[in-house]
Amino acid sequence: MIESPGAALAVIESPGAVLAVLTGVAAFYFWLEKATGWKIFRYLVPLIWIYATPMVLRNLGVLPASSPTYDVMRQFGLPMFIVLLLLSVDVGAAVRIMGRGVLVMLLGTAGIVLGAPVGYFVVHRWLDPEAWRGFGALAGSWIGGTGNMMAAAAGLDTPPDQFGLAVLADTVIYVGWLPLLLISKNFAVKFNQWTGVAEGRVAKMEEAARREVRVEEPPSVRELLYLAAIAAAVAWFSGWLAPRLPELQPVLSTSTWAVLLVTTLGIALSFTPAKRLPGSHNLAMAIVYVFVARMGATASLEGLAQAPAFLFGACIWIGVHGLFCLAGAWLFKVDVHSAAIASAANVGGAASAPVVAAYHRESLVPVSILMALLGYAMGNYLAIVTATLCRWVGGAA
């Protein structure tokens, strides 16, 4: 096998050592966040450090530019974490508790899908022609979460430099958007008067949330094996079928088919008894963060000159999302707590939605997670739609 120059010059070449570094980086930053309690992690979350550290190590020649470890993680790690994330989706519970609040989230999701081409149209002339793929990856994060971002990037074959810009924009916008969602609580009375919220709506939500609360027991070894077997089987089947489906380049490739197949199968499995297996979400997120490190290790420092334009487009984009959320709250007569949680479930995912819910109404923390899981179910499909819209408005052939 002929190795690339980056791989030949790397200090670490062994596949096992590469995997050890990637998992070590992911574990280190979560340990550091918990052990120190540094405030910097409130603004620069572990995600960006987990991505940036392997990127620096790769550009310094410590990690290889290509490795069998990267290939295996993409082939098996990616589909496995998608399945595990989607197993715990519970559409019915979210609707029963939030009612019309789910409609606000869906309208906010529409704002993500339609806001992206607006922002991209304004700034695309200053971006790389492949930047629409980076916008698609960011859409995955803003509709679902980090796992969707990884899946969308893989499905769209997003170039490493554009994925790096997506990670940067995700972090920067999060720093500004999260405080706005928290501060909105201070305007609850005026906001609810403006939207015409029915009296007692919040109390009814809290009561419904209490009825739906379930305590998940720690998974046993047997249950973890069940989860691994299910995820591996879906990974194998999607990998076998995807190359046999027709391609429609540049949007619908074998990689795209693989992500769509795994997503569909994962959602289907959420309606089976497999949904009740504990531990799927935590296991999935562990794989996700190692995969984030893998993405960083394959990235370069090229493309950073495009960061101002990419960020400006993302700011326009998030503004459109915010307007859609406000319109949804007014149209469906929803309280500020539901509107803030709906936006957080999109933009922040399962990591941030509970933070916003706890600040607004602690009793709504469980449902905030359920709403974020809805984003997981939609994120991979709609990220590809969003990327396609961006490509069209950018004038690509």
Residue 7: strand, helix, or coil: helix
* Residue 3: per-residue pLDDT: 40
- 348 token code pair: 């922040």
Backbone φ and ψ of 205, nearest 5° = -65, -45
d(CA 195, CA 190) in angstroms, rounded, equals: 9
Torsion 343-348-351-356 (CA) sign: negative
d(CA 10, CA 100) in angstroms, rounded, equals: 54
pLDDT band at 211 (very low <50, low <70, confident <90, very high): low
pLDDT tens per residue across span 108-166: 999 999 999 999 999 999 999 999 999 999 999 999 888 899 999 999 999 988 998 99
Task: Report CA 351 to chain centroid distance, whole Å.
Answer: 10
Query: Of the given ranges (66-75, 206-215, 281-290, 302-311), which has the lowest mean pLDDT?
Result: 206-215
pLDDT tens per residue across span 85-111: 888 887 777 777 777 888 999 999 999
pLDDT band at 386 (very low <50, low <70, confident <90, very high): very high
Say whether pLDDT at 199 is over 80.
Answer: no
- Tokens 């074998």: give the residue: 254
- 70 token code pair: 């990267």
DSSP string, 264-322: HHHHHHTTSGGGG-TTHHHHHHHHHHHHHHHHHHT--STTGGGHHHHHHHHHHHHHHHH
* Residue 46: per-residue pLDDT: 86
Say whether pLDDT at 208 is over 80.
Answer: no
Mean local confidence (pLDDT), 244-262:
84
| H-state helical runs in 156-278 | 160-183, 188-195, 201-212, 221-241, 254-269
Say whether pLDDT at 1 is over 50.
Answer: no
d(CA 176, CA 71) in angstroms, rounded, equals: 35
* Residue 178: per-residue pLDDT: 85
pLDDT band at 378 (very low <50, low <70, confident <90, very high): very high
Neighbouring C-alpha atoms within 13 Å toward the C-beta of 151: 40
* Residue 123: per-residue pLDDT: 95
d(CA 313, CA 317) in angstroms, rounded, equals: 6
pLDDT tens per residue across span 157-180: 999 889 989 988 998 898 789 888
Neighbouring C-alpha atoms within 13 Å toward the C-beta of 251: 16
Query: Of the given ranges (213-217, 310-314, 337-341), which has the lowest mean pLDDT?
Result: 213-217
* Residue 252: per-residue pLDDT: 74
Say whether pLDDT at 182 is over 70.
Answer: yes
Mean local confidence (pLDDT), 19-31:
95
Report DSSP state, residue 246. P
Residue 204: strand, helix, or coil: helix
d(CA 387, CA 152) in angstroms, rounded, equals: 9
d(CA 120, CA 130) in angstroms, rounded, equals: 12
Number of domains in the chain: 1
Question: Per DSSP, what are the bridge partners of residue 248?
Answer: 252
What is the extent of the structural domain holding 73? 5-393
* Residue 212: per-residue pLDDT: 62
